[in-house]
Amino acid sequence: MNSRQLLRISTTLFEARPKQVKAVFTPHIFAIGAQWMAERMGVENRSDKHDHNQLFIYYGLLKYGICFGVFLGTFFLLWHLQPWLIPLSILVFYLCEIHFLFLFPLLIDQVPRPVCASVRMTYRMGLIRTAFTVMHIGFFMVSGLFQYKNPFKKWHIGCLAIVIWYQHEVRNRLPAYL
* Model confidence, pTM: 0.84
Say what the alpha-carbon torsion angle 126, 159, 73, 85 is, to the nearest 10 degrees: 70
User: What percent of the chain has pLDDT above 70?
Assistant: 88
More confident position, 161 or 36: 161
Residue ranges covered by each domain of the chain: 3-17+27-177
Mean pLDDT taken over the chain: 86
Average pLDDT over residues 135-161: 89
Average pLDDT over residues 11-21: 81
Cα(161)–Cα(140) distance, integer angstroms: 11
CA end-to-end distance (rounded Å), the chain? 22
What would the 3-class secondary structure string for the chain be? CCHHHHHHHHHHHHHHCCCCCCCCCCCCHHHHHHHHHHHHHCCCCCCCHHHHHHHHHHHHHHHHHHHHHHHHHHHHHHHHHCHHHCCHHHHHHHHHHHHHCCHHHHHHCCCCCHHHHHHHHHHHHCHHHHHHHHHHHHHHHHHHCCCCCCCCHHHHHHHHHHHHHHHHHHHHHHHHHC
Q: In this predicted structure, which of 13-22, 87-96, 107-116, 127-136 has the lowest mean pLDDT?
A: 13-22
Res 136 pLDDT > 90: yes
Q: What is the pLDDT of residue 44?
A: 62
Average pLDDT over residues 124-143: 91
Res 145 pLDDT > 90: no
Q: In this predicted structure, which of 75-79, 82-86, 110-114, 174-178 has the lowest mean pLDDT?
A: 174-178
